[in-house]
Structure 1
Amino acid sequence: MPADARKTSTASSSTAPANLWEPNPRATGLRRRIGEFVLSGPVQSFVLAVIIINAITLGLQTSDAIVDTLGGFLLVLDIAAIVIFVIELALKMFVLGRRFWPDGWNIFDFVVVVISLIPAVGDLTVLRSLRVLRVLRLVNRLPQLRRIATAIIKAIPGIGAIAALMAIIFYVGAVMGTSLFGEDFPEMFGSIPTSLLTLFQVMTLDNWTTSVVFPILDVHPGAWMFFLPFILISAFVMLSLFVAIIVDTMLNMNESTRGTVAAPAPIITKTQPIVVRDVPSTSNGRGDLDDAAALREELAALRKETAEIKELLTARRQ
């Protein structure tokens, strides 16, 4: 094959993958054009604005006075938002195909939109309150929020271990509290479940002195030796561990999930690149000779410094 032909084939093969659409390389023609439109910045910004407006609308619908005045208008806005969400979701499922489902955020959007379509009648009335979950779609649209949510999800194993340790501490405290104070204060430590609820109130520091500790101290003056260690361990140490695990996960997280295929490139935590300077060389190899001479001079200087250090050490020993 001639050299020009080889260069042409190589160039064409190297540029062919660049023509593929990254969110779904199989999408071509009309499907790709629809995908580029749906996942474009202006459309995603429009959907973000609709989510914010819909969140405000859901909040206003909780006021009877506002519903009596603007009930019909708010209902139209709510229906319009649902229609926009359904159209966006359907188009994304069409253009992404199988690539829609591996993304957890897309599944979350799908579940939220499906819940919005379920009629809130009969036993399904409780689903009406779940409409507010649409606001959580903001997490999928904002990279900063998506990064925090990803860090929390990745920190779940560590948080689970701390939660297990806290459960053991609570159980030990509940058994001790029931044994020590159950007879005199059955309303707070009469049983294990009651003791767990009381200890949870103590951990949250919610009115724990006047309603729990002080009445017990009037009968058991040494009860502070039980409550103070429990508060220090449960309220301060455990909370600090929770925060430390999440922060450590965010620091060690090299990249975030894709959240939405509108931004298919993951967020990479950039590190300082290693810069390697090329030594200029000429056809006669003069650059290599100069570089070798510089290295020999550096080695000679290092040997001289090493010899001086050895002399100093020998003098100190003597």
Structure 2
Amino acid sequence: MQTQFERLKSNKAFELFVIGVIVVSALLIGAKTYTLPQSVVDATIALDYFITLFFLVEITIRFIAEQNKKRFFHSFWNTFDTLIVVVSLVPIDNSEMAVVGRLIRVFRVLRMVSIIPELRILLTSLVKALPQLGYVMLLMFIIFYIYAAVGSTLFHHINPDLWGDITISLLTLFRVMTFEDWTDVMYETMEVYSLSWIYYLTFIFLSAFAFLNMVIGIVVNVMEQEHAKARADKLKENGQTEVTMQDLQQQIAELKMIIQSKR
């Protein structure tokens, strides 16, 4: 049974069917937000029971197919999927639990992340990039705070709604950084301070250009590392080893030494 379930779990058609059920589950959640005829409501309830039962059967198949049952929950994604399936078993017939049950079932869409390897790599990359992004965000907040203090000091009498205090100034600067009608804010202050455009342009270059590129660079770097790790793990599963540039250089050096010794 374990061998059969392992083959079934690795079957591409079965994986596509699981993805299809997840998509249907997501569409079902959206359909329930509309006013539907009673017959359609009954059909959605029956379909919801089927999806919940299917997820329970699918996670059971994956558990039985695991060779080392004790290590099944060592995987974050297995624990994540199991938690979603178990929580989805909460009944929603009770009117008091209906809202909670619907909210819980929304998270079943997240199973798409655990099924598709590319999505797992994206999410893992974002999580692993958070420590590095934290320092960038801290530096970005310092720049925001300095510019907010300067803006509140210079422009509060021009428009208190935008520059009344430092918290409002921070929101205004966020608006400027996202380019949401920022020129209207700049032209308003330029009527009093003609050189205030320097304030806005320097802030935009620091926040929207420099820091944004730093964030993108960090995320892309972590994603490349995760892709390389995924390739190495796949080769390891197939009994192969990944050939690196250092290995090639070492092999070339050994070949040179052999050729020179024969001369």
TM score, norm. by length of structure 2: 0.78
Q: Following superposition of structure 1 onto structure 2, how do residues 129-278 of structure 1 map, counting pairs within 5 Å?
A: 129-210=103-184, 212-253=185-226, 254-256=228-230, 265=237, 271=244, 274=248
Q: What is the distance in 2 between the residues matched to 1:167 and 1:268?
A: 44
Inter-partner Cα distance in structure 1 for 2:130 and 2:30: 31
1:295 corresponds to which of 218, 243, 260: 260
Matches within 5 A, 1:75-86: 75-86=45-56
CA RMSD of aligned residues (A): 3.5
Does residue 63 of the first structure (1) align with residue 37 of the second (2)?
no
Tell me what 1:52 maps to: 23
Unaligned runs of 5+ in 1: 1-29, 259-263, 278-290, 299-318
Matched to 2:10, the amino acid is S
User: Residues of 2 paired with 1:296 and 1:44: CA distance?
Assistant: 55
CA deviations over 1:262-315 (Å, ceiling 9, x no partner): xx94998664664969xxxxxxxxxxxxx98x63675xxxxxxxxxxxxxxxxx
* One-letter amino acid of the counterpart of residue 80, structure 2: F
Give yes or no for contact 2:163–2:172 (8 Å, CA) kept in 1.
yes
Pairwise mapping of residues 101-120 of structure 1 onto structure 2 (< 5 A)? 101-118=73-90
Query: Which structure has the highest helix share of the two?
Result: 2
Question: Secondary structure in 2 aligned to 1:101?
Answer: helix
Structure 2 Cα separation of the partners of residues 242 and 127 of structure 1: 37
- Residue matched to 1:43: 14
- 1:188-238 per-position Cα deviation (integer Å, ceiling 9, x unaligned): 12122211111111111122222x222222233222121111111111111
In 1: Cα distance, 2:111 partner to 2:209 partner: 33
| In structure 2, distance between residues paired with 1:79 and 1:186 | 56
> What's the CA shift string for 1:73-111, capped at 9, x where partnerless?
222222211111123234444664331222111222233
CA contact (8 A) 2:9 2:65 kept: no
1:219 alignment partner, SS class: coil
Q: 1:190 to 1:71 in 2, by over 3 A?
A: same
Q: Secondary structure at the match of 1:222?
A: coil
CA distance in 2, matches of 1:220, 1:124: 58
CA distance in 1, matches of 2:147, 2:101: 38
Q: Please state how far the C-alpha of 1:248 moved relative to its aligned partner.
A: 1.3
Aligned amino acid, residue 112 of structure 2: L
Give the whole-Å Cα distance in 2 for the aligned partners of 1:68 and 1:206.
Answer: 44
Larger Rg: 1
Q: Among all aligned residue pairs of Structure 1 and Structure 2, give the percentage whose two residues are the same amino acid.
A: 32
Determine if contact 1:37/1:43 at 8 Å carries over to the other structure: no
Q: Tell me how far 1:240 sits from its aligned partner.
A: 0.8
Q: Distance in 2 between matches of 1:56 and 1:48?
A: 12
